[in-house]
Amino acid sequence: MTKNFLNDFPILRGKMNGNALAYLDNSATTQKPEGVVRSICGYYGGCNANPHRGVYELSVKATKVYEDARRKVADFIGADGREIIFTKNATESLNLVAYSYGLTNLHADDEILITVAEHHSNLVPWQMVARATGAKLNYVYLDADGNLSAADIAAKLTRRTKIFAVTHISNVLGIVNDIKALAARAHEVGSVIVVDGAQSVPHVPVDVGDLDADFLAFSGHKMLSPMGIGVLYGKRHLLDEMPPFLRGGDMIEYVTEQETTFAELPQKFEAGTQNVGGAAGLSAAIDYINGVGFDEIERIERDLTTFAIAELKRLPYVELYGCDVANKIGIISFNIRDVHPHDVATILDAAGVAIRAGHHCAQPLTKYLGQSATCRASFYFYNTRRDVERLLDAVQSVRSVMHLA
Amino acid sequence: MLENIYTELIAEHSRSPENRRTLPHATHTERGHNPSCGDDITLQLEIADGKIVDASFGGTGCAISQASTDMMIELLRGKPITEAKRLAEIFIAMIHGDITDDDTLAALDDAAALKNISTMPARVKCATLAWHTLEAAITDGDAHA
């Protein structure tokens, strides 16, 4: 029997527009369990000082909270603590790689390969690198099912490719890419692989050693943690060679009037006072996720996804995107014929059902799908079949509200 | 709540095809866009002697943005630019909840039906897109077809 997670998430017991809340926008951000909120309060209430700097006990306590969180993250994804850089979010992590690795290592005639299913955070920075270095930005497109086109990868991942940046799970289609195989292919041609793990790390077990990912970026807020804490994992030898991204306090070794030498990893990439409260929250979130277990998380999300797709397919006026694939989890994009997604989202909102409508920060993909926008329902382990039923009921009311039926 | 927003009048205007065309003698063409949600309209005006002789639009967006654009065009056709500017001010003030009395709003004709959007902050920009696009078109000064 599934645990009733609602006890740990008071916000999910609340109402929206007078109806019980069915929160189905987990790809945008997840809700936070009480334990995570308590850990943030506990840090600021009992341990707050500037870490790494003071010699007094409170500062030592703050340092311990921060560095324990780093170790927790490292263990969670199979990395070494020195390979874990705390950032603001996945976007900052990917920008760090683009600015620090991309601008340093790419030249004219080199190529960057990304996929048409990337979130803007794993797309716009690479446009910048291509423009600044003269490198060419190429795209992998999708096959008829919505998977990455194997033929496209074979043709475009070549000796010229120096960076292959790819999402682990599409934030629009929910399709899981085989990162281990893609990493092996990238390494064969001498490219690094940059993995956007924003939608995968919260939902499936990720082991950077097993995947052989060179860089992995993810956000805390999509995995029960507060907003404003994110992670960049990078292989140590790559991070060691990279110049700092931001410069200032705490990332230095010696500073003279004209010169600076930089701190060792990971401090080299953590300039200024960091989000220690956020790190405490992320640490508690990882404990919570480990407590639930990925087997259970996958089981619940697969059940909800399968159920929702099967029921949506029965509605002749619903069009689904990328839903005929086995390796899909947690995220469903759809449209209702003759109704714009924003109107759908407003009608669902009135029924207490929170979904996202729009381009989901993936405009090239939306255009590639031939749409101007889509509706997206996305699940986490605390969602229930009842939430999906509420979604389905509301979806079935849309056309009559719009005077179409 | 929903029945006050998605009225039949708004549904009809959102799907009405008459004003969806290209103006053969457009003097002003202005594109308006809500980047966060993707509403994207192109407004065309034919202005002569300080008067909006004809207007049309194209593009995609939600029912509220499309209905609002259609109703605005119906209202503005044949009106002097000075009057169009005055109506834009009334409409935008209505959507922000700053003007609520029905006598003033009567000047907006069908467009007054969007009054209840003022209670839905998430949809305000859908309703005002056409009117902000109009303002951009007629305050740019010179004609650009």
- What's the token pair of residue A147? 């998977």
Listed residue (A148, A98, A156, A153) closest to A127, CA to CA: A98
Give the type of residue at A4: N
- Contact between A383 and A297 under an 8 Å Cβ cutoff? The reply is no
The enclosing domain of B16 has a CATH number of 3.90.1010.10
Chain B positions touching A353 (Cβ under 8 A) are none
Does residue B145 sit within a domain?
no
pLDDT range class, residue A4, cuts 50, 70, 90: confident
- Contact between A192 and A215 under an 8 Å Cβ cutoff? The reply is yes
The tens digit of pLDDT for each residue in A105-162 reads 999 999 999 999 999 999 999 999 999 999 999 999 999 888 999 999 999 999 999 9
Residue B19: which domain range?
A: 2-139
Alpha helix (H) residue ranges in A134-246: 150-156, 179-188, 208-211, 236-241
- Contact between A81 and A131 under an 8 Å Cβ cutoff? The reply is no
The tens digit of pLDDT for each residue in A274-297 reads 999 999 999 999 999 999 999 999
Does residue B72 sit within a domain?
yes
- What's the token pair of residue A336? 């209702």
Give the type of residue at B71: M
CB atoms within 10 A of CB A177: 21
pLDDT range class, residue B144, cuts 50, 70, 90: very low
- Taking an 8 Å cut-off on Cβ atoms, the answer to whether A343 and B2 are in contact is no
pLDDT range class, residue B141, cuts 50, 70, 90: low
d(CA B113, CA B109) in angstroms, rounded, equals 8
Q: What is the ipTM of this complex?
A: 0.90
**Nearest chain A alpha carbon to B126:** A342
Q: What is the DSSP letter of B137?
A: H
The tens digit of pLDDT for each residue in A167-193 reads 999 999 999 999 999 999 999 999 999
Q: Is A124 on the interface with B (CB under 8 A)?
A: no
Mean pLDDT taken over chain A: 96
Give the type of residue at A204: V
User: How far A88 CA sits from the closest chain B CA (Å)?
Assistant: 21
- Contact between A143 and A193 under an 8 Å Cβ cutoff? The reply is no
Does residue B49 sit within a domain?
yes
- Taking an 8 Å cut-off on Cβ atoms, the answer to whether B36 and A341 are in contact is no
**Nearest chain B alpha carbon to A367:** B38
User: How far A298 CA sits from the closest chain B CA (Å)?
Assistant: 31
Which residues 176-235 in chain A show a CB within 8 A of chain B? none
d(CA A336, CA A315) in angstroms, rounded, equals 9
Structural domains in chain A, CATH included, are 5-28+293-401 (3.90.1150.10), 37-290 (3.40.640.10)
Does residue B77 sit within a domain?
yes
- Taking an 8 Å cut-off on Cβ atoms, the answer to whether A403 and B6 are in contact is yes
Nearest neighbour of A401 by CB, restricted to B2, B61, B66 = B2
d(CA A101, CA A238) in angstroms, rounded, equals 8
Q: What is the DSSP letter of A149?
A: P
Q: Decide if pLDDT at A1 tops 50.
A: no
Does residue B107 sit within a domain?
yes
Chain B positions touching A403 (Cβ under 8 A) are 6, 8, 11-12
Residues contacting residue B1 through CB under 8 Å, at least 6 positions apart: A17, A350, B119
User: Count of domains in chain B?
Assistant: 1
Specify which residues A175 forms β-bridges with.
A328
Does residue B28 sit within a domain?
yes
- Taking an 8 Å cut-off on Cβ atoms, the answer to whether B1 and A340 are in contact is no
User: What b/e sequence results for A192-227 when a residue is b if at least 16 CB atoms lie within 10 Å of its CB, and e otherwise?
Assistant: bbbbbbbbbbbbbebebeebbbbbbbbbbbbbbbbb
**Nearest chain B alpha carbon to A342:** B62
pTM over the 0.90 mark: yes
User: What b/e sequence results for A36-68 when a residue is b if at least 16 CB atoms lie within 10 Å of its CB, and e otherwise?
Assistant: bbebbebbeeebbbebbeeeeeebebbbebbbe
- Taking an 8 Å cut-off on Cβ atoms, the answer to whether B63 and A403 are in contact is no
| Beta-sheet strands, E only, within A225-352 | 230-234, 252-255, 260-262, 318-321, 331-336
**Nearest chain A alpha carbon to B40:** A372
Active site residues of A: 361
Does residue B26 sit within a domain?
yes
Does residue B113 sit within a domain?
yes
- Contact between A152 and A168 under an 8 Å Cβ cutoff? The reply is no
- Taking an 8 Å cut-off on Cβ atoms, the answer to whether B38 and A403 are in contact is no
Question: How far lies B30's CA from each of A226, A322, A380, B84, in Å?
Answer: 41, 35, 42, 16
Q: Is A350 on the interface with B (CB under 8 A)?
A: yes
